Amino acid sequence: MGDLIQIVVAKYNYWIYITLMMIGLYAMIAKNNLVKKIVGMNIFQTAIILFYVSTGAKRGATIPILEHGHGEHGAGAHVVHAVDYINPLPHVLMLTAIVVAVATLGVALALAIRVYNRYDTLEEDEILAKIREK
Amino acid sequence: MSQQYPALLVIVPLLSALVISAAGWINKRLCFPIAVAALGVAAYSSIGLLLRVLDEGAIVYRLGGWDPPMGIAYYVDHLNGLVLAVVSVVAFLNLIASKKSIELELPDKTAPFYALYVLQVTGLLGIVATGDAFNLYVLLEITALSGYAMLAMGKDRAQLSTLNYLYMGTIGACFYLLGVGYLYIVTGSLNMVDIANILPSLYESKAVLGAFIICLVGVWVKMAFFPLHAWLPNAYTHGPSAASSLIAPLVTKVMIYVMIRLILTVFTPEFAFNILAISKPIVWLACIAIFMGAILALAERNLKKMLTYIIVAEVGYMVGGAWLGNRAGMTGAILHIVNDALMTLCAFLVVSNIAYKLKGYAFDDIKGLVRKMPFTMGALVIGALSIIGVPPTCGFFSKWYLISGAIQASQYAFMVALLFSSLVNVVLFFRVIEICYYEPFSDDGAHGHGPPSEPMAEAPLTMLVPLFIVAAGLVLVGIYTGDIVNKIIEFAIPQGIV
Amino acid sequence: MKIIGLIIALSTGVLLICATGDFPRWADPASPASTHLSPHFIEKTMEETSVPNIVTAVLADYRGYDTMYETAVIFTAGLACFILLRIFVKEEPGDRLYRHLLTGVTVRVKEGTKLPPSEDFERIDATWTPPDLIIKTICRFLIPFIQLFALYVIAHGHHSPGGGFQGGVILGASIILLAISQDLRTSVRRMREKLDAVLCAVGVIIYAGTGALCLLLGLNFLDYSALASVLHCDPVTARSHGILIVEIGVGIAVMCTMIWIYNNVSSIGKYDEGL
Amino acid sequence: MIWQLDLAILTLVVIAGIAAITVKDLLGAAILFGAYSFMMCLLWSIMGAVDVSFTEASVGAGVSTVFFVAAVFRTTRRTRD
Amino acid sequence: METMISIKPLLAVLVSLLITPILVSSRAPNVREAWTFVAAVAKFLIVLSMLPTIMKGTEIVYTVAEFLPGAAIKFRVDALGMLFALVSSSLWIITSAYSIGYMRGLKEHSQTRYFVFFAFALSATVGVAFSANLLTMYLFYEMLSLATYPLVTHHQDHEARSSGRKYLLYIVGTSIGLALPAMLISYNLAGTLEFGKQGFLAGTASKPLIGLLLFMFLFGFAKAAIMPFHSWLPAAMVAPTPVSALLHAVAVVKVGVFSVVRVLTGVFGTDLLFSLDFGPVILLVASATILIGSFIALSQDGLKRLLAYSTIAQLSYIVLGVGLLSPKGITGGMVHIAMHAFGKITLFFCAGAIFVATGKKNISEMVGIGRRMPVTMAAFFIASLSIIGMPPCGGFVSKWYLVLGSLEAHQMPILYVLLFSSLLNAAYFMPIVYRAFFCRPEEAMFENTVQEAPPFCVVPLVITAVISVILLFYPQPFFNLASMMVQQITGT
């Protein structure tokens, strides 16, 4: 029991991200409304970003901006220890991922609007019904 | 300059895509020449790159001058050298062929369409060339987004089916990203070769297994591997002909390439074939994919949609071949990437010629079409023979390798599936041929007796010439299969696989 | 469908949970992620690029190639929204409404006839609603400061959180705020569609062009140290400057794309009054 | 970092996410999604990912929400689930 | 066994392909047919020019492209191939003359397509004859199947199309479904596909697997019309008569049976078949086909359908001969390829001539036709004698050798089968001839207006009839080739 709690506490970020991802995935597959699916999609992507950021976290370290860096780069002489700073790589990747997410969002919304203009509804089953009766 | 081929290959299309979209606001007629020039350069440098690889083996190009794994690097070996050449050449031919149909179908949106087209090609080339797992994801998204935009420009239910494609595509890409994340957290690296070097100590770890499965599923969604294929047929069918004739041949094949790259380079064959015992189930899945694709294709009364289902079946070929786990199967899969790209291009160019001249491409619309467009139909026959797998067209030889791989792996179900789909293809295409050749074009023509009444109205030359080039390519590739296999694919497969 | 969705989601979750079992403890300094590559970035960034903000350095230099494509992705999205939504409608015949800015009286102009050329009339639609005075004024007052802050974010990305993306987004948001607080016509008058679209491309071209310039100067693509000969400084500073240049490019591209997407989405491509 | 705060925000994130996909009004969903993104960016700033949270604050909570709202205004608020 | 490298085989295959563009482009029928003749003669001469070399016991080899070790696009001309190539190329000349007469006589539509695909079919046939390995043979086999599809469906009406479907389903279905996997399996077993003197499968696989392969090959080449894969042949009779004549007397069915012979001798090898004693199996299948085919032929009224079933029966003689696994039997089988070809094509020509002249297709309507078309029916009589295997016709030679072979192999039942089937042949041929000539004038169904068919139709059938008589007294060319081949195979 104790070590179970240990595990839960030690990795709770991961549990939460998995929960969020399941929520998003469920919304994308099971929801009937196109915009709801898009919301789910964004939750899904954000969950993955959360996962990456969690991988980058480091206990007892500070944000990845060098302290003595201000001023000219002669300050590079100051010796820098890796343990003092959070791992920057996941942050970089996730900046990209966020931008990709918003790009996808834009395209998805544009498509949803086109669909709405055509079928005058956002509910998938109603759209399919309209297509069938055509 | 040849040192910079890997960069040129991707950068020239990117820059020119931007220039096109800007130039579109000044003068629409500038766009097409720029696009042709860009893709021409890309094709030239990809072929040059392939030749260099053949001479001096794998090439590493350090982007930003940083050594991998710090920076991002391009690894170009025989495998992606070949695929790069195919992708760029196919895109180039299709661009020339599609000019007229683009102008017909999207009169006021030509400029952004060309820009998206070139962006798509950029993304595909980048995916194939890159040696960095995360970079691959970004390029995947470029390809996906431009593809959605192009496909959604089609007629009736194009937008809806593209939206579904978008959902599925995003799921696939995100799964891939997640898998890369899992790899990153256990290895701490993103560079494929670097990961491959670190992994052997971690083969037992559940995280690596999870990463592998997630990546695989993501890629499968992207390549429409049964049962994740549901999005493909509608999306490809309703898109504009220019878009579908670019995306249908290339995107699925490039995703197959990604899968093979994951197997061969990232998670070494040792891990994929020996440590995990999942190759048999996957081959079974591939068999089901082939069967289902063939059967669903039989049910179609619409040429283009029938072809999309054939693509689903072909994906089954390649996945199964890659997962047979022996040299012959892998050779067949890689060879089939080349052949299937050409075959699909041929078939879809035929469809776009038909769409350019006729109102539709359902079976009822193409009755007796041969009198109207004989040359197009001739090309269709060649493409059909190749898809069926009749020697000496190239389709036969890749099927040859796949089947002998199946025999060596004693996966007879896969062999049966391949033969079955060949038979079904015979039925499919001879049905089409019968309709095109023997049905009276108009109902008054009494069973085509007497002189043909229909005046010939063939597609313009700019659409025919590329089609003929592709059709001839089908036969040439078939004849030179030996060289392709012995000079390129032999070296693309690591010695570990026997 | 719901059942299938639930099953898929749960199975994925189970798979991921199993896979999570072998993870290193959360935030463990000894985890491979923090020991394999990142130490090099953290310790070498300063002397290799002289950029204190490691994220910016890695983003725009070590992995600058990624970032270029991420800008291209944004650009692609803008282009996609444009091609999907924009409708080039002819000025449909019929009466047009104009509004006199000073008095607020609405003038209906019959078809064919023209309005005397004067600055204090603005074109409006039938659905036009008068913008709320307070919101309008406050936004007008705020927007310059927002933009100033955005510029700061871009320029100071070397030393503090922020950079091209954030700054670009904020710049775009300022224009979008204008469009929301008044109407789309106003913001489009500030930022013409053509200019906007061309700037999108230009932004990315700045980025890729810098890389290509390095290539022309004889080093690999995006190897900023090649700029040293142009900027007359040592390679390390050249890298720092190169980062600044591309960040500016990113900023421009992102700003314009955000505006582009917003304009197309909010007016379904008709470029009328928007929301 | 203060783990209680971290935990609280994590729970809030989940709640916001679930609410966003269950609320029977698309505009509400858009706003809740904005809230979700904002929680997210708080979370990341707690974890020290300042740039990411900055981007999320501007992109996710800001522009994305605006896009959502614009799209909803242009289509409909009606949703059956 | 010395070999020489020469491009002649390739030329022989290509010559009829090369003229197809001319055929397509030429608008004037005369030009078109002139070119067809040129190609036919050229092909025949090329084949003939290789004859002396072969007779000297030399083999001519030419490799086009190699895409796998042991599996190349490669030609090799040996005695058997030579025999077959001689038959088909010589008959092409005659048939093209005949088809000119026939097609013009009936004013058929789209004759260009007809001649073009005819040329294709001939290339494929010679290609099969000269192929040096299974792959090449399969290639040309498929090419032939696809090239003959438009000929079979020439009339384009519903019947033609449905039987075309049947044709394609049987031929391509079996070749893809059975022959192709069999080929691949044997390649993976032996690592080569080159036809060997004693096959290449010996000692590579267990008996059951060999048996499976034998089954797949035997039925995989469905063109050989071995039952139960025979029913495409009667269906394909909807084609114009010259097509039936060439394809079902010469090209298609002979290609099928030739492939079977090739496979039995060149892939399995007689010794292997003998040691595993698969001979009886082959004999069983073949004799079943012979008897059933003949019985069905008895009940047919349509002349062409009757000929089709008789073809089915006769083809199995060849398989039977090889199945005997005795030198004389194999010789008889191979010679029968030639003999049956000349006899059967004459019969088809006659059927076509009758159709051109009178428009009659059924035997019951042909009472007294001999009076009006004496030449035709005389030729018919001779040819049917040849098929039955009675002197003074070539058919006798092959039948004789088959009988000897069955004695040599101590297969008494086969002897009875042969004799009985000959009786059956007589039983379905003779009544026709009888009705044609010996009927009372008032029964005659033809008034005096009916004349012989145009010379273009009659001359060829006379020639072939004469040849099939000559072949009794001078069978040397084919006979020597066959016995050479047998020597190479059995080494005796």
Q: Work out the average pLDDT over A32-43.
A: 92
Are the C-beta atoms of D54 and A94 separated by less than 8 Å? no
Percent of chain B with pLDDT over 90: 50
Q: Does A17 touch chain B (CB under 8 A)?
A: no
CA distance A41 to A26: 10
Tokens matching residue A119: 């079928």
The Cα A84–Cα B359 span in angstroms is 68
> How many Å apart are CA C74 and CA C204, to the nearest integer?
10
**Neighbour order of strands in the sheet with C96-100:** C106-109, C96-100, C121-124
- Cα B114 from Cα B106, distance rounded (Å): 11
DSSP 8-state class, residue C217 = T
Q: Do B159 and A114 touch (CB under 8 A)?
A: yes
First-to-final CA distance of chain E: 14
Inspect the interface and report whether the beta carbons of E66 and B419 lie closer than 8 Å: no
pLDDT, position B449: 45
Query: In this complex, do A46 and D79 lie within 8 Å of one another by their Cβ atoms?
Result: no
Report d(CA B475, CA B47) in Å as an integer. Answer: 20
Q: How far does chain C reach from its first CA to its final CA, in angstroms?
A: 35
What region does C98 belong to: left with phi over 0, alpha with psi -120 to 50, or beta? beta
Whether B426 has its CB under 8 Å from any CB of chain E: the answer is yes
How far, rounded to the nearest angstrom, does the alpha carbon of residue B67 sit from its chain's CA centroid? 31
- H/E/C letters for each residue in E346-378? HHHHHHHHHHHHHCCCEHHHCCCHHHHCHHHHH
Alpha-carbon span B287 to E471, nearest angstrom: 55
Neighbours, chain C (3 or more CB pairs < 8 A): A, B, D
For the cut 60, the answer to whether the pLDDT of residue A76 exceeds it is no
Please report which confidence band the pLDDT of residue B445 belongs to, taking 50, 70 and 90 as the band edges.
very low
By C-alpha distance, the chain E residue nearest B430 is E165
Q: In 3D, which of B163, B157, B202 has the Cα closest to residue B183? A: B202
**Sequence-separated (6 or more) residues with CB below 8 Å from residue E198:** E269, E270, E271, E272, E489
- CA dist., res. E360 & res. E370, Å (int): 13
CA-based nearest residue in chain E for residue B389: E176
Q: What is the spatial distance between Cα B254 and Cα B246, in angstroms, rounded to a whole number?
A: 12
- Is E386 or A67 the better-scoring residue by pLDDT? E386
Q: Are C54 and C42 in contact (CB under 8 A)?
A: yes
- C and D interact (at least 3 Cβ pairs within 8 A): yes
Structure tokens at C163: 């950079």
Q: Can you give the C-alpha Rg of chain C in angstroms?
A: 25
Does B343 score more than 80 pLDDT? yes
Which residue in the set C13, C50, C67 is minimally distant from A18, CB to CB?
C13
Question: Residue B444 has what pLDDT?
Answer: 40
Would you call A125 an interface residue with chain C, using a CB distance cutoff of 8 Å? no
| Out of B19, B63, B178, closest to residue C221 by CB | B63
Mutate to test the interface with A, among B119, B134, B159 (most CBs of A within 10 A): B159
Instruction: Please tell me the distance from the alpha carbon of residue E254 to that of residue E341, in angstroms, as a whole number.
Output: 8
* pLDDT-derived band at B447, boundaries 50, 70, 90: very low
Which of C56, C161, C172 lies nearest to residue D63, judging by beta carbons? Answer: C172
List residues in chain B touching A: CB distance below 8 A: 134, 138, 141, 145, 148-149, 152, 157, 159-160, 162-163, 166-167, 170-171, 174, 177-178, 181, 184-185, 190
R_g of chain A computed on alpha carbons: 22
Q: Give the whole-angstrom CA distance, residue E428 versus residue E447.
A: 26
Residue in this structure with the two tokens 């389709």, named with its chain if needed: B395
Which residue type does E151 have? L
Neighbours of chain B (3+ CB pairs under 8 A): A, C, E
DSSP code at position E238: G
Tokens of B3: 């040192």
pLDDT tens figures, E338-354: 888 888 888 888 888 88
**φ and ψ at residue C162, rounded to 5 degrees:** 120, -175
Round to whole Å and give the CA distance between D32 and A40.
12
Nearest one of A94, E183, B7 to C208, comparing CA atoms: B7
Residue type, C250: V
Q: What residues have CB less than 8 Å from B422, skipping those under 6 apart?
A: B388, B389, B399, E176
* The pLDDT of residue A77: 53
CA dist D17 and C270 (Å) reads: 33
Shortest CA distance to B126 belongs to which of B241, B227, B17?
B17
- Tell which residue, B335, B180, B177, B269, has the closest CA to residue B494: B269
Q: How large is the average pLDDT for residues B452-472?
A: 82
| Chain D residues touching A58 at Cβ < 8 A | 48
Question: What's the average model confidence in pLDDT over B448-473?
Answer: 77
Query: ipTM for the complex?
Result: 0.88
Neighbouring residues of E273: CB distance < 8 A, sequence distance ≥ 6:
E214, E264, E279, E282, E325
Interface test with A, best of C38, C62, C176 (most A CBs within 10 A): C38
**Residue for token pair 């293809």:** B425
> Per the omega criterion (within 30 degrees of 0), is the bond before E455 cis?
no
* Contact residues on chain D for C180, CB-CB shorter than 8 A: 66
pLDDT < 70 regions, chain E: 1, 70, 440-450, 491-492
Pair of tokens at residue E463? 């020639």
For residue A44, give the nearest of B141, B160, B174 by CB distance: B174
Q: Rounded to a whole number, what is the distance in Å from the CA of B279 to chain C's nearest CA?
A: 19
Residue E146 tokens, joined:
């696809």
Q: Do B185 and A108 touch (CB under 8 A)?
A: no
**How high does pLDDT run on average in chain B?**
88
Q: Is residue B253 over pLDDT 70?
A: yes
CB contact under 8 A, C62 and B66: yes
φ, ψ at E133 (rounded to 5°): -150, 170
Beta-carbon contacts of residue C46 (< 8 Å; ≥ 6 apart): A66, A69, A73, A75, A76, A78, A80, C52
Provide the 8-state DSSP code for E191: S
All residues of chain B having their beta carbon less than 8 Å from the beta carbon of residue E153 are 434, 438
Q: Chain D residue with minimal CA distance to C172?
A: D63
Contact check, Cβ <8 Å, A43/D17: yes
Q: Tell me which chain B residue has its CA closest to the CA of residue E142.
A: B390
Q: Is the dihedral of CA B150, B153, B157, B159 positive or negative?
A: positive
CB pairs under 8 A between B and C: 172
* CA–CA distance, E453 with E349 (Å, rounded to integer): 11
**CB B173, CB B144: distance < 8 Å:** yes
> Which residues on chain E place their C-beta less than 8 Å from a C-beta of chain B?
65-68, 73, 109-110, 135, 138-139, 142-143, 146, 149-150, 153, 155-158, 161, 164-165, 168-169, 172-173, 176-177, 180-181, 184-185, 187-188
CB atoms B214 and C15 under 8 Å = yes
Chain A environment of D44 (Cβ under 8 Å): 50, 53
Neighbours of chain E (3+ CB pairs under 8 A): B
Contacts of C228 in chain B (CB under 8 A): none
Per the CB < 8 Å rule, is C2 touching A11? Answer: no
Query: Looking up tokens 């999306």, which residue turns up?
Result: B235
Nearest to B48 by CA among B92, B94, B3: B3
A48 shares contact with chain D (CB less than 8 Å): no
Which of D21, D37, D51 would best serve as a mutation to test chain C binding (most C beta carbons within 10 A)? Answer: D51
* B108/E248 Cα distance (integer angstroms): 59
User: Over 70: is that where the pLDDT of B451 sits?
Assistant: no
Instruction: Calculate the alpha carbon distances from E20 to B234, E120, E369 in Å.
Output: 41, 8, 39
Phi/psi at A123 (5° precision):
-85, 125
From the list B138, B141, B159, which residue is nearest A115 (CB)?
B159
pLDDT for residue E30: 80
CA nearest to C150 within chain D: D58
What single letter denotes the amino acid at residue B92? F
Beta-carbon separation of C55 and D51 below 8 A: yes
A44 at interface of B, judged by CB pairs closer than 8 A = yes
Quick one: pLDDT band at residue A2, thresholds 50, 70, 90? low
Residues in chain B: 498
Q: Determine E/A contact with 3+ CB pairs under 8 A as the test.
A: no
Query: Quick one: DSSP state of residue B71?
Result: S
Distance from CA of E355 to the nearest CA of B (A): 20
pLDDT band for B442, please (50, 70, 90 cuts).
Answer: very low
Measured between beta carbons, the chain C residues lying within 8 angstroms of D71 are 265
Contact assignment for E156 to B448 by CB distance below 8 Å: yes
The reply to whether residue E67 touches residue B397, judged by beta carbons under 8 angstroms, is yes
Whether residues D79 and A122 touch (CB distance < 8 A) is answered with: yes
Burial of C40 (C-beta count, 10 Å sphere; 0-12/13-18/19+): middle
- Compute the distance between CA of residue E211 and CA of residue B37 in angstroms, rounded to an integer: 60
Residue E66: CB atoms within 10 A of its CB come to 16
Nearest neighbour of C265 by CB, restricted to D51, D54, D70 = D70
Q: Per-residue pLDDT for B180 more than 80? A: yes
List the structure tokens of A31: 């929801």
Q: Which chain B residues are Cβ-neighbours of A51 within 8 angstroms?
A: 178, 181
Q: Could you read off the pLDDT tens digit of each residue along chain C, which spans 275 residues? A: 788 889 988 998 888 888 887 777 777 778 888 888 888 888 888 888 888 888 888 888 888 899 999 999 999 999 999 999 988 776 666 677 777 777 778 877 777 677 766 777 777 776 777 778 888 899 989 999 999 999 999 988 888 888 888 999 999 999 999 988 888 888 888 888 899 999 999 999 999 999 899 888 888 888 888 888 888 888 888 888 889 999 999 999 999 999 999 999 988 888 877 67
Residue in E322, E341, E149 with CA at minimum distance from that of residue E238: E149
What does each C-alpha distance from E278 to C51, E201, E271 come to in angstroms? 84, 14, 10
Structure tokens belonging to residue E429: 């041929």
Tokens for B155, please give them: 């007629």
